[in-house]
Amino acid sequence: MAEYKKITIYDVAKECGVSRQTVSRVLNNRPDVADETRSRVKEVIRLLNYQPSAIAQSLSRNKSFVFGVVTAGLKYIGPSRTLSGITTKAEEIGYGLLLKELSSFTFNDIDPLLHWFISHHVDGIIWATPEIEDNHNWIDVLLPIVEIPIIFITMAQRTDVSIVAFDNFLGAKIATEHLIDLGKKHIGHISGPLDWWEARQRKLGWEAAISDAGLHTTEKMWAEGNWSSKSGKKAFLKLLDNYPLIDSVFVGNDQMALSVLHAAYENGIEIPSQLSVVGFDGIPESEFYCPPLTTVFQNQFLLGKVAVQELLRIVDDHQHNEVSENKTITLTPELLIRKSTIKF
């Protein structure tokens, strides 16, 4: 059996007729290498199937090439889709991930968690838990004393941190305006739990669209759910009792909207001729509801990818001792029109 010989940086240098330092500069994307030399080194690396040491590269660049990720609720569709986007983009740029899933969305014992990530020398952290109740209050106390870059996903805009989030207000407004354009006058709303920032933004978007149309909202026109299908049915039945004139409903997420479709059927209400229904999230299953659900699609896979790309920018600035500008990147959701609002 032939003995396996590991290819080293010295083998690449010898084959190219250059120094080991020149090969290292190419591997680290340094600008001080002639284009012809760079091309030759890259070709030899490919031909020899040279795999540079991640440890050696991290030492030479003062990077670990590892990001920390804080998430919660991976049993739910949204967080899992976001994490998928994070892992895909991290793989593309050559980063590994250290993952911590919190025991709940409102977990608040943050100090030990930050110390754990720091002890594992991550280059930065993606805080992929939504803003709920006071679960982000720790930012005011701990962030000023933590030097490691952190980017947040899905929270209210503030100037002292970088954030990537969908425009929940706009998505809800677009959904409600669609119902108004259909001639609907009595548009109800089933919100998510209002201790969630996203749920509050969606309710505000519903109210704004109705107000812009010269209509008015009252307490009897909306009910609160908790994102679950069971809560959606309960909220919808409450709306039917409190607001019998209802001719359409904007529902805070697709899972609650599913139970609205089911409860409408049980009560002999035809969709969309008697009641138009719009959801939010654009989960893949919504296309196969009966009838297919009109919904506001937020690409949470893209959300995760953008968060990684933005964190990389911050880390690079940090590595070069440059002041990194805090940004809020707001992604635009898309209305997908299906048979729950329009007969095709």
* Together in a domain, 3 and 37: yes
pLDDT exceeds 50 at position 239: yes
Residue 2's pLDDT is 41
* Together in a domain, 188 and 160: no
* Together in a domain, 267 and 180: yes
* Together in a domain, 133 and 219: no
Residue 58 lies in a domain: no
* Together in a domain, 185 and 289: yes
pLDDT exceeds 60 at position 57: no
Q: Are 28 and 43 in contact (CB under 8 A)?
A: no
Residue 143's pLDDT is 86
Residue 60 lies in a domain: no
Question: How much is the average pLDDT of 31-40?
Answer: 87
Output the pTM of the full model: 0.81
Domain CATH code at residue 39: 1.10.260.40
Q: Are 69 and 86 in contact (CB under 8 A)?
A: yes
**What is the count of structural domains for the chain?**
3
User: 138 is written with which tokens?
Assistant: 């720790």
| Residue-by-residue DSSP string for 13-82 | HHHHTS-HHHHHHHHTT-S-S-HHHHHHHHHHHHHHT----HHHHHHHHT---EEEEEEE-TTSHHHHHH
pLDDT exceeds 60 at position 3: no
More confident residue, 26 or 152: 152
* Together in a domain, 88 and 109: yes
How much of the chain, in percent, has pLDDT values that exceed 70?
94
Neighbours of 238 (CB within 10 A): 17
Question: How much is the average pLDDT of 149-177?
Answer: 96
Q: Are 178 and 294 in contact (CB under 8 A)?
A: yes
Grade residue 53 by pLDDT with cuts at 50, 70 and 90.
low
Residue 25's pLDDT is 78
User: 322 is written with which tokens?
Assistant: 């440059």
List pLDDT tens digits, range 316-335.
887 777 778 899 999 999 99
Domain CATH code at residue 71: 3.40.50.2300
Question: How much is the average pLDDT of 59-64?
Answer: 61
| Residue-by-residue DSSP string for 201-261 | HHHHHHHHHHHHTT----GGGEEE--SSHHHHHHHHHHHHHH-TT--EEEESSHHHHHHHH
* Together in a domain, 163 and 77: yes
Residue 7's pLDDT is 81
Question: How much is the average pLDDT of 251-269?
Answer: 97
Query: What residue numbers bound the domain in which 188 lies?
Result: 168-298
pLDDT exceeds 90 at position 28: no
Residue 42 lies in a domain: yes
* Residues whose CB is less than 8 angstroms from the CB of residue 112 and which lie 6 or more positions away in sequence, other chains included: none
List pLDDT tens digits, range 171-220.
999 999 999 999 999 999 999 999 999 999 999 999 999 999 999 999 99
Residue 261 lies in a domain: yes
**Rounded Cα–Cα distance for residues 18 and 24 (Å):** 11
* Together in a domain, 112 and 151: yes
* Together in a domain, 173 and 294: yes
* Together in a domain, 73 and 102: yes
Residue 122 lies in a domain: yes
Residue 141 lies in a domain: yes
* Together in a domain, 163 and 185: no
List pLDDT tens digits, range 127-154.
999 999 999 999 998 988 888 899 999 9
